[in-house]
Structure 1
Amino acid sequence: MSDNLVHALAGAGGGIISMAITYPLITISSRLQVQRSHDSEAKYKGNFDAFKKILATEGVTGLFSGIESALFGAALTNGVYYYFFEATRKVLIKFSRHGSINTFESLISGSIAGAMTAIITNPIWVINTRLTVKDPNSKLSGSTLHELMQVIKTDGILSLWQGIGPALILVLNPVIQYSLFEQLKNYISKTRKLGNLDFFLLGALSKLIATSVTYPYIVVKSRMQMRQSKTDSSLRYDSISDGFSKILSTEGVKGLYKGIESKLTQSVLTAAILFMSKEALYKNTLILLSILSSRSKLRR
């Protein structure tokens, strides 16, 4: 098994673990992101209010709406990202005079990996967004497959790539995140050996910075991935600039940062758990493959 694939599998496993643990925070932040302030009555007044109302009206399961698609999406997203990141990094190392990549080359690796990930996984996140913020009494409520069929039937197959514009711009999020993580990891590893706590803290710090910088695009992407109104242009987001313009004109700058508290908490925890578990899974996978290889040789 290639080292790139091992990284991909470890990343996928880490993504599933971190997503499952932090998913209620995603539900809360997603619902706040798509909530417009000019609604007749704001459904959620804040993060804690959203948490209480979801529990009161939908129960604990409401906090996990669409988790099936999210777990699949997390596994695929992290698997694809790590595969392309490691593959690109190794190509760049071959042409490097120092046997390692610098910050700029790390950004190139992250950009290529992020772009491929966004294009491949966007349909999953469109479905997940709609399931996460769905009306529990709506006829459209259902499984991931049911929602997928409804989206294609109602809006056409191209609607699965709604929000791909901001999604591609949000490639900057993991680029900033992974580049910071790699550079900090390389810097600290020169002085001492890193442990699980180091990976946890470095993952948290790098994600905190990346999400703070790119959050407005996350809000615009979430709204573009929702079912768009065909009759009311004020409720439709036709492009990134249109989304920014309408949010700023009706909700102000704070509209671009709705749900940021729960999103930052979720993002930081997810990144920290992901990096820590990914490193552990990568090492254990290599050990397992080594054991299986040794047994295979003994049988011959």
Structure 2
Amino acid sequence: MSDSAIHSVAGAAGGIVAMSATYPLIFLSTRAAVETKKEQKSTYQAIVDIIKREGILGLYSGLNSSLLGIAVANGVYYYFYERTKETILRSRSSKALGTLESMLAGLIAGSATTIISNPIWVVQTSQAVSTMGADPSQPATTKKLGFLETVKSIVAKDGIGAFWRGIGPALVLVINPIIQYTAFEQLKNLLIARRTAKLRAAGGVAAAAAAVATLTDLDFFILGALSKLIATSFTYPYIVVKSRLQAGTAKALKYKSSLDGLLTIIREEGIEGLYKGIGSKIVQSVLTAAILFAGQRRIFEMTKSALQPILKA
């Protein structure tokens, strides 16, 4: 089993753990992004309204789709990213990717992931917003559909093509993981280089040449959080447009393009309309990325160690 395949499995498993821990924040940011009214609710009030109408489990509407989506997305992303990284590094002696090389690997991996996983995110968004628009003071009466029921409903209403709603801004958002993984790789390389220099300066002459610093789980957690914070802050307006298109809202389906969507939101809702739900999204994204980067590394090492006896047999 290649390292790329192990990275893929570890990425999928790490993504499931991270998504399960932070899903209510995804649910809240998705609803906020899709909402076109100018009135703003605090995160606390949004949570209270949902629990009042739908119960605690209402915060987990669409979780099944999200777990499938994150497993597929992370599995595909890590596989293509690591395969591209291996191909680049085999062509030279360096063990680290440069900035442009990190961006190229991210572009290839992100494009493949977006095209393959978009249908799942359309289903997840549809489930998350299915009870929007009703009176928050009244119990929910709309039946919540499961994954397969939502798939059938989308096909019956809008056809197979609906599963690629929002693919335009989703492809633009490939820049999000490019920024994230590029920032992660460069921050990681910088941290290793600084710690290695200190380690060699503190060691003897014989040990200095061979000493190379290693990063801890906490280091990966912090680096993952920082890199995702940078990426999400830059790309959030496109996340709003994508969420609206994937939800199939009437207004969003009239957007002629991603740029037209951005301009329409600014015209109708002001600049703040481009950042609806950004608070919960940033908290969720940063926590998810931090858990994912730390978890994926640990799961990768455990999986590789467990497979060693089998591969040698």
TM-score for the superposition, normalised by structure 1: 0.92
Match of 2:286 in 1: 268
Q: Which amino acid in 2 is paired with 1:159?
A: A
Among residues 218, 221, 235, which one is paired with 2:239 in the alignment? Answer: 218
Separation (CA, whole Å) in 1 of partners of 2:290 and 2:249: 34
Report the alpha carbon displacement of residue 97 of structure 1 after superposing the two structures with TM. 5.1
Match of 1:117 in 2: 113
Q: Which amino acid in 2 is paired with 1:280?
A: R
Match of 2:80 in 1: 84
Report the alpha carbon displacement of residue 207 of structure 1 after superposing the two structures with TM. 0.3
Q: Which amino acid in 2 is paired with 1:166?
A: P
Q: Which amino acid in 2 is paired with 1:224?
A: L
Match of 2:309 in 1: 291
Q: Which moved more, 1:144-153 or 1:179-188?
A: 179-188
SS in 2 for 1:151: helix
Structure 2 matches for 1:147-296, cutoff 5 A?
A: 147-190=150-193, 191=195, 192-229=213-250, 236-294=254-312
User: How far does the alpha carbon of each residue in 1:11-51 deviate from its partner, in whole angstroms, 9 at most, with x for none?
Assistant: 0000000000000000111111011125xxx5x61222111
Q: Which amino acid in 1 is paired with 2:154?
A: V
1:75 aligns with 2:71: yes
User: How far does the alpha carbon of each residue in 1:67-99 deviate from its partner, in whole angstroms, 9 at most, with x for none?
Assistant: 001001010000000000001111111223535
- The question of whether the paired residues in 2 share the 8 Å contact of 1:12 and 1:76 is answered with yes
1:126 aligns with 2:122: yes
Match of 1:46 in 2: 42
Match of 1:138 in 2: 142
- The question of whether the paired residues in 2 share the 8 Å contact of 1:123 and 1:161 is answered with yes
User: How far does the alpha carbon of each residue in 1:118-175 deviate from its partner, in whole angstroms, 9 at most, with x for none?
Assistant: 0000000000001011115335x31011001110111010110000011001011111
Q: Which amino acid in 2 is paired with 1:32?
A: A
SS in 1 for 2:236: helix
Q: Which amino acid in 1 is paired with 2:218?
A: L
1:15 aligns with 2:18: no
Report the alpha carbon displacement of residue 185 of structure 1 after superposing the two structures with TM. 1.2
- The question of whether the paired residues in 2 share the 8 Å contact of 1:32 and 1:46 is answered with no
Whose radius of gyration is greater, 1 or 2? 2
1:56 aligns with 2:52: yes
Separation (CA, whole Å) in 1 of partners of 2:96 and 2:228: 23
TM-score for the superposition, normalised by structure 2: 0.88
Separation (CA, whole Å) in 2 of partners of 1:128 and 1:93: 37
SS in 1 for 2:262: helix
Q: Which amino acid in 2 is paired with 1:195?
A: T
- The question of whether the paired residues in 2 share the 8 Å contact of 1:127 and 1:144 is answered with yes
- The question of whether the paired residues in 2 share the 8 Å contact of 1:85 and 1:112 is answered with yes
SS in 2 for 1:77: helix
Separation (CA, whole Å) in 2 of partners of 1:24 and 1:99: 39
Report the alpha carbon displacement of residue 100 of structure 1 after superposing the two structures with TM. 3.5
Separation (CA, whole Å) in 2 of partners of 1:259 and 1:99: 39
SS in 2 for 1:25: helix
Separation (CA, whole Å) in 2 of partners of 1:75 and 1:48: 29
Q: How many residues align?
A: 287
**What is the Cα-based RMSD across aligned positions, in Å?**
1.5
SS in 2 for 1:54: helix
Separation (CA, whole Å) in 1 of partners of 2:187 and 2:249: 42
SS in 1 for 2:41: coil
Report the alpha carbon displacement of residue 235 of structure 1 after superposing the two structures with TM. 7.0
Gaps of 5+ in 1: none
Gaps of 5+ in 2: 132-139, 196-212
Separation (CA, whole Å) in 1 of partners of 2:80 and 2:294: 20
